[in-house]
A and B are shown apart, each in its own frame.
Chain A
Amino acid sequence: MDIVTYDGSMEGLLSAVFEVYEYKIPDPVICVRSAANGSLFGQFHEVHSNTEKTNRVYKKLSERLSKTSMLQVYSTFLSGLPGMENILLRYIQYVLASKQSVEYDYSHPDVLFVQQTSKKVHREKHRMEAFIRFQVTQDQLYYAIIQPDFNVLPLINNHFRKRYADQRWLIYDSHRKYGLYYDLETVTEIEMNFDIDVKHTKSVATLNDTNEELYQKLWQQYFSSVNIAARKNMKLHIQHMPKRYWRFLTEKQVQFNEEF
Chain B
Amino acid sequence: MSDRILEKLSILADAAKYDVSCSSSGSNRKNDNKGLGNTGNGICHAYTEDGRCVSLLKILLTNVCIFDCAYCVSRKSNDIKRAGFTVQEVVDLTINFYRRNYIEGLFLSSGIFKDADYTMERLVLVAKKLRTEHKFNGYIHLKTIPGASEEIINEAALWADRLSINVEMPTEKSLALLAPDKKRSDMLRPMEYLKTAIIANREEKKLFKKAPMFAPAGQSTQMVIGATPETDLEILYLANGFYKKMNMRRVYYSGYVPISNDNRLPAIGTPVPMIRENRLYQADWLLRFYDFKVQEIVDAENPLLDTDIDPKLSWALRNLHLFPVDVNTADYKLLMRVPGIGVQSAKKIYAARKFRRLNSEHLKKIGISFRTAKYFLSINTEFERKDLLPGQIKQLILTEGNSKYKANFSPQIKLF
Instruction: Enumerate chain A interface residues (CB-CB to B < 8 A).
Output: 102, 104-109, 112, 116, 126, 129-136, 142, 144, 162-167, 211, 214-215, 217-219, 221-237, 239-241, 249-251
| A241: chain B residues within 8 A (beta carbon) | 46-47
Asked if A251 and B6 sit within 8 Å, CB to CB, the answer is: no
A-B contact pairs, 20 of them (CB 8 A): A104-B348, A107-B355, A163-B31, A163-B36, A163-B38, A222-B57, A223-B54, A225-B13, A226-B13, A226-B48, A228-B272, A230-B257, A230-B271, A230-B272, A233-B49, A234-B416, A235-B413, A236-B50, A237-B47, A240-B51
Q: Which residues of B contact A219 (CB under 8 A)?
A: 97, 100, 102
Residues 341-394 (chain B) with a chain A CB within 8 angstroms = 348, 351-352, 354-356, 358, 362, 365-367
Contact A133 B416 (CB under 8 A): no
**Highest count of chain B CB atoms <10 Å: which of A104, A164, A228:** A228
Q: Top 8 A-B pairs ranked by shortest CB distance?
A: A236-B51, A104-B351, A231-B50, A106-B352, A225-B13, A240-B47, A107-B362, A105-B355
- Rounded to whole angstroms, the CA-CA distance of A240 and B22 in the bound complex is 15
State whether A165 and B36 are in contact (beta carbons under 8 Å apart), knowing that A107-B362, A108-B355, A235-B413 are contacts in the complex. Answer: yes
Once A107-B356, A226-B13, A226-B54 are accepted as A-B contacts, the answer to whether A232 and B36 lie under 8 Å apart by CB is: no
Q: Please measure, in the bound complex, the distance between the C-alpha atom of A230 and the C-alpha atom of B354, giving whole angstroms.
A: 50
- Contact partner of B97 (CB less than 8 A), chosen from A135, A162, A165, A215, is A215
Instruction: Report Cα–Cα, A165/B52, bound state, in Å.
Output: 29
Give the nearest-CB partner of B36 in chain A: A166
Closest to B39 in A: A163
Are A223 and B99 interface neighbours, CB within 8 A? no
Give every chain B residue within 8 A of A142 (Cβ-Cβ): 99-100
Contacts of A133 in B (CB 8 A): 100-102
Question: How long is the Cα–Cα vector from A109 to B352 in the complex, in angstroms?
Answer: 12
Task: Considering the complex, give the chain B residue whose CB is closest to the CB of A225.
Answer: B13
Residue of B nearest to A226 (CB): B17
- Nearest chain A residue, comparing its CB with the CB of B50: A231
Q: How distant is the Cα of A134 from the Cα of B49 in the complex, in angstroms?
A: 22
A-side interface mostly: helix
Could you tell me the distance in whole angstroms from the C-beta of B7 to the nearest C-beta in chain A? 9
Instruction: Return the contact of A215 from the options B100, B258, B362 (Cβ within 8 A).
Output: B100
Residues of chain A within 8 A of B150, CB atoms compared: none
User: How many residues does chain B have at the interface if contact means C-beta atoms less than 8 Å apart?
Assistant: 61
User: CA separation between A133 and B54, bound complex, in Å?
Assistant: 14
Q: Min CB distance, A161 to chain B, in Å?
A: 10
**Cα–Cα, bound, A249→B37 (Å):** 21
Contact of B101 among A102, A144, A214 (CB under 8 A): A144
Q: Is the CB of B45 within 8 A of A130?
A: yes
Q: Which of A104, A226, A230 has the most CB of B within 10 A?
A: A226
Do A211 and B96 have beta carbons less than 8 Å apart?
Answer: yes
- What's the minimum C-beta distance from B135 to chain A, rounded to whole angstroms? 7
CA distance A236 to B50 in the complex (A): 7
Q: How far is the CA of A256 from the CA of B181 in the complex (A)?
A: 46
Determine whether the beta carbon of A223 is less than 8 Å from that of B46. Answer: yes
A133 to B96, CA, bound (A): 12
Shortest distance from the beta carbon of A220 to any chain B beta carbon, whole Å: 9
Quick one: which of B165-211 are within 8 Å of A by CB? Answer: none
B13 contacts which chain A residues (CB < 8 A)? Answer: 221-222, 225-226
- Asked if B274 lies at the interface with its beta carbon under 8 angstroms from chain A, I say yes
| Chain A residue at minimum C-beta to C-beta distance from B51 | A236
CB distance from A20 to the nearest CB of B (A): 25
Shortest CB–CB separation between residue B2 and chain A, in angstroms? 5
Q: How far is the CA of A142 from the CA of B100 in the complex (A)?
A: 7
Q: Within 8 Å CB of B141, what residues of A?
A: none
Q: Check: B10 CB closer than 8 A to any chain A CB.
A: yes
Which residues of chain A are near B49, meaning CB under 8 Å?
A: 227, 232-234, 237
The answer, yes or no, to whether B158 is at the interface (CB within 8 Å) is no
Pairwise interchain contact A223-B100, C-beta atoms closer than 8 A: no
Taking CB as reference atom, which chain A residue is nearest B365?
A112
Least CB distance, A126 to chain B, in whole angstroms? 7
Residue B58 CB within 8 A of the other chain: yes
Q: Does B80 contact A (CB under 8 A)?
A: no
Q: Which of B25-56 contact A (CB under 8 A)?
A: 30-31, 34-38, 43-54
Closest residue of chain A to B349, judged by CB?
A106
Residues of chain B within 8 A (CB-CB) of A163 are: 31, 36-38
A107 touches B358 (CB 8 A): yes
B51, A167: Cβ atoms under 8 Å? no
CA A227 to CA B2, docked complex, whole Å: 22
The answer on a CB contact under 8 Å between B46 and A228 is no
Whose C-beta in chain B lies nearest to the C-beta of A222? B13
B14 located at the interface, meaning its Cβ lies under 8 Å from any Cβ of chain A in the complex: yes
In the complex, which of the residues A136, A228, A236, A249 contacts B17, with contact meaning CB atoms closer than 8 Å?
A: A228
> Pick the contact of B9 from A136, A221, A249 — CB < 8 Å?
A221
